[in-house]
């Protein structure tokens, strides 16, 4: 995948798609900065990568805090010399599944802060460094909920539509600067976020799975494969695009 010795930052890398992406990046020879709000989780993923013979460094970062994002990138560049790839994966879902009129203010503010503002902060800082070094690659983790309506899920849907929009707008702005920016849009994928959704109602698992033509949920490793491809030179003529990995549910 031509990722050997590339310096990669993955946010939300302590579990789920982020952990799978960090692990696969390292397997392809990248130097992976495992960033997560939970340092213990980041450390475990980094340790697992190291045991496999890969190179990984854990970092604690809250993407809703601009100064923490800025400090992360400064530290990475100081120690590694560059920032080749930024994977903006950190994300949360709302605690409640409610219609818009009943949507809680807490869910709105928390989800938008992580999923939308956090991605903006990471893109802003990463792009500053990439402009300085003359190249770079950003992969944002959006969602199928950012491409089609998602009921009882307003803040999450709004945030993921925003990620798709930010991806395309920034790709347009930086295409001539040797910086590529793309997104992946997973459908229902095995992860802590899906577990949270499935626990909201007893019948939710069968209900959601029944809508998927492939009759199963996605695996985090399957999403990671797409992220790694976008991060590599194998996709060097692609920018501003969204890749949907949803088992056919969008059909």
- Render pLDDT for 157-196 as a digit per residue (tens, 0 to 9): 999 999 999 999 999 999 999 999 999 999 888 877 777 7
Instruction: Enumerate the β-bridge partners of residue 35.
Output: 59
**Residue boundaries of the structural domains of the chain:** 7-244
pLDDT digits (tens, 9 = 90+) for 35-64: 999 999 999 999 999 999 999 999 999 999
Average pLDDT estimate for 119-130: 98
pLDDT digits (tens, 9 = 90+) for 102-115: 999 999 999 999 99
pLDDT digits (tens, 9 = 90+) for 74-99: 999 999 999 999 999 999 998 888 99
Which residues are catalytic, by number?
Answer: 156
Q: Which overall architecture, per CATH, does domain 7-244 show? A: 3-Layer(aba) Sandwich (3.40)
* Inter-residue contact 138 to 179 (CB < 8 Å): yes
In this prediction, residue 171 carries a pLDDT of 98
Q: How far apart are CA 130 and CA 215, in angstroms?
A: 41
Q: Which of 4-13, 198-207, 236-245 has the lowest mean pLDDT?
A: 198-207
In this prediction, residue 195 carries a pLDDT of 74
Q: What is the dihedral of CA 101, 201, 157, 71, to 10 degrees?
A: 110
Q: How far apart are CA 89 and CA 104, in angstroms?
A: 24
* Inter-residue contact 139 to 88 (CB < 8 Å): yes
**CB neighbours of residue 182 within 10 Å:** 24
Q: Is 0.85 surpassed by the pTM of this model?
A: yes
């Amino acid at each position: 995948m031509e990722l050997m010795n590339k310096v990669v930052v993955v946010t939300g890398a302590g579990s789920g798609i982020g952990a799978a992406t960090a692990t696969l990046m390292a397997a392809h020879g990248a130097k992976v900065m495992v960033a997560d709000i939970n340092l213990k989780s980041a450390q475990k993923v980094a340790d697992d990568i190291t045991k496999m013979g890969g190179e990984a460094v854990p970092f604690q970062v809250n993407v809703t805090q601009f100064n923490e994002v800025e400090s992360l990138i400064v530290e990475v560049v100081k120690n590694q010399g560059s920032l080749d790839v930024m994977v903006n994966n950190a994300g949360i879902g709302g605690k409640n599944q409610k219609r818009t009129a009943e949507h809680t203010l807490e869910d709105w503010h928390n989800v938008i802060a992580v999923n939308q503002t956090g991605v903006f902060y990471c893109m802003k800082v990463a792009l500053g460094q990439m402009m300085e070094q003359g190249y770079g690659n950003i992969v944002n983790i959006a969602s199928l909920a950012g491409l089609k309506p998602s009921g009882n899920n307003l803040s999450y849907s709004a945030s993921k539509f925003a990620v798709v929009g930010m991806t395309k707008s920034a790709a347009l702005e930086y295409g001539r600067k040797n910086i590529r920016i793309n997104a992946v849009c997973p459908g229902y994928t095995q992860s802590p976020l899906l577990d949270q959704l499935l626990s909201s109602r007893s019948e939710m698992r069968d209900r959601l799975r029944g809508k998927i033509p492939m009759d199963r949920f996605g695996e985090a490793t399957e999403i990671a494969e797409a992220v790694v491809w976008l991060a590599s030179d194998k996709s060097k003529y692609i920018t501003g695009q969204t890749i949907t990995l949803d088992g056919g549910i969008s059909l």
